[in-house]
Structure 1
């Protein structure tokens, strides 16, 4: 078995190929020692290049649930609220008396719908249940990008971002699976958009990879009240601002 990283961003990473050998008896009950000790030829898989988005996307699309047309997955059919999140890299003014590496002495910041997350001094979940959200976060997180542009093409000329600790509120009248996992209906590359979503056997995931310059469509039931992070799996990105607080009720 062999594995190597998949990456499309400019950041450096360890491009080492990891390999492991698994040996087992074809017939554990066999008593022929000569047959049991026979060495089989080592099969070495041919791996794609590290940035092969087409291969990676095609592989992910093969991940399905155990459901089928007769017993379809419990995918929410009624959509109460729709959210469109764009995650990108923008600029913030450099703090006073500091020198930053961005253009015109600005600093780079990640953002969701042009809002760069500011980490509060108190836990969001704690402030939510203690009704002490005032001064910790606001509930005006934009459910759509503040302005339209070519999301997979040339970025807009003004990429200055806003800072804030904001929450988007989700409501649903249905009850089933919790907010901890989502159904992945489609993973889209800029050049290929499916005609319809997979509502029969989509995989249930708690993480999902989004192609560079592409999209992912998910659907879930917000039936676990509280404040939850929608975020990248890299913890350092919290300090960059690419987070969103989602309130489920």
Structure 2
């Protein structure tokens, strides 16, 4: 397997990429060939889906202001799109790559060219497949460097993408089919760091390969940590070392020191690691957390890599290799405190919190159930008569399968495809974080009935929107990493329990909140965000746990055109293929 090899400290463009200068900016071009590949781990050979033979895939290395052009050649027997996670896509919604939202999938044997500009963002983003569960192995980092080469912190000696993910033996297409049927009992076999399982996993006594990061004592390195996993939030530590957190989601943060990073699916966290420990070898560990019982339990997922100082013998000079002390896997409070410590590093032009609010939404995040076979009555409480689905304000999103929402909106042909009545509030208030709503119940039984629908929400251009996301304990008590395409939003506050506007609005940070594209809504807690609808188009909003999105924890926001051509969505670009041209028929 051509996984990321031991350690290069400055990532270079792959051979298939080229940069053509245009003044101070450049056009950065790549070709992504998506194909199957057999890989052997844990004594089993598994078919996986990759780009250019790599897991993770190629890193896009660009500079603020560059234009990116990626030709995707689909050599799978299944359609897919590529989403450029966190890229603002200003007036280029057609290139967002959200399957059946902004485009229909690239058909088997087909190709598609994505073209977009990256301006006003510096740091780490990532790209991934956005149809079914394929993003588990079809993913890679996007490194956006400052125009002048200057950071608001000491320049690192090198930088390394650290992509935390999962190793699945189950075919990812079969996994998606099972989740669509309400089955989320399947699990990966291991965590991964840059595609490597680490030496804690073994088969017949032969340990798996680990990521090795070579460092020089006294130097500082920028680690670009991304969670690409389908299922879990991860704790990440390096024995004997601390981190300085300096950025997240391609936005700078006020630096703060910590010995552990918490990264939820969809998040990208930039940290500085200084090699200031006595020369030796030190283990890095990525550990998945999860709620305790009575939530359904999953196995322990952990991967381990190595930080290796120059000049130290391969046997660590005969000494044991230190291992970091990790939190209990069921302790989610370190995540809550880590995310609560993040504040933005203000800079002119972007870091101005809207002082007023035009539209307020209160959105509950939980699970529900549907009766199988279209029946109106059935036995609930996770019986075989129901399908468990995920919901937002008690609506489980029905994903289109033959057409793209953006096309229908642009053509004025939405009838029969979607409605614009996504609710601003849950239909029925209740004690959202009551732990007795977690099965075996019986309190959840009256609240779990729901329905499937494609309900969207429309906003006028330049509307100030505030959303309070409320995680619930209905059928489970997971956290929810909520990702909004096409936008960064200010994270004003987070809290535990039920949001109380009379009490909790006083906690809002209007001075230096973090600016993010993904917010981790705490387990049985809430998070408040605010943004201005200054980017017209059709923008997907969803939880980044794959089982939640497949089960319906999603919607889309329509943002209308502004008053001028410069504030309006242009027509589809020449390279855009409409759904009919993709080999898919519209209903």
**TM bracket, shorter-chain basis:** 0.7 to 0.9
In the alignment, does 2:301 pair up with 1:15?
A: yes
Distance in 1 (CA, whole Å) between partners of 2:388 and 2:497 is 25
- Note the C-alpha offset of 1:85: 0.5
Do 1:72 and 1:200's aligned partners in 2 also have CA atoms closer than 8 Å?
no
Higher fraction of strand: 2
Q: Which has the higher contact order (CA 8 A, sep 6+)?
A: 1
Change (3 A) 1:20 1:213: same
Q: Name structure 2 gaps, 5 residues minimum.
A: 1-237, 239-284, 312-316, 438-443, 465-484, 561-587
- Note the C-alpha offset of 1:73: 2.7
Do 1:73 and 1:199's aligned partners in 2 also have CA atoms closer than 8 Å?
no
Distance in 2 (CA, whole Å) between partners of 1:159 and 1:82 is 25
- Note the C-alpha offset of 1:49: 1.4
- The one of 356, 364, 369 aligned to 1:86: 364
Deviations 1:97-132 (A, max 9, x none): 9x9993371211111111111111211111111111
Partner residue, 2:288:
5
Partner residue, 1:106:
386
Distance in 2 (CA, whole Å) between partners of 1:23 and 1:187 is 39
Distance in 1 (CA, whole Å) between partners of 2:453 and 2:374 is 18
Within a 5 Å distance, the mapping from 1:161-172 to structure 2 comes to 161-172=450-461
In the alignment, does 2:562 pair up with 1:239?
A: no
- Note the C-alpha offset of 1:174: 6.0
Size of the alignment, in residue pairs? 235
Partner residue, 2:341:
62
Change (3 A) 1:39 1:21: farther
- Note the C-alpha offset of 1:143: 0.7
- The one of 472, 495, 505 aligned to 1:188: 495
Which is further off, 150-159 or 140-149?
150-159
In the alignment, does 2:430 pair up with 1:141?
A: no
Partner residue, 1:29:
none
Calculate the aligned-residue CA RMSD, in Å.
3.3
Partner residue, 2:324:
45
Distance in 1 (CA, whole Å) between partners of 2:334 and 2:544 is 22
- Note the C-alpha offset of 1:215: 0.7
Distance in 2 (CA, whole Å) between partners of 1:166 and 1:79 is 23
Change (3 A) 1:96 1:221: closer
- Note the C-alpha offset of 1:14: 4.7
Which is further off, 42-51 or 125-134?
42-51
Change (3 A) 1:219 1:13: farther
Distance in 2 (CA, whole Å) between partners of 1:100 and 1:6 is 32
Q: Name structure 1 gaps, 5 residues minimum.
A: 26-37
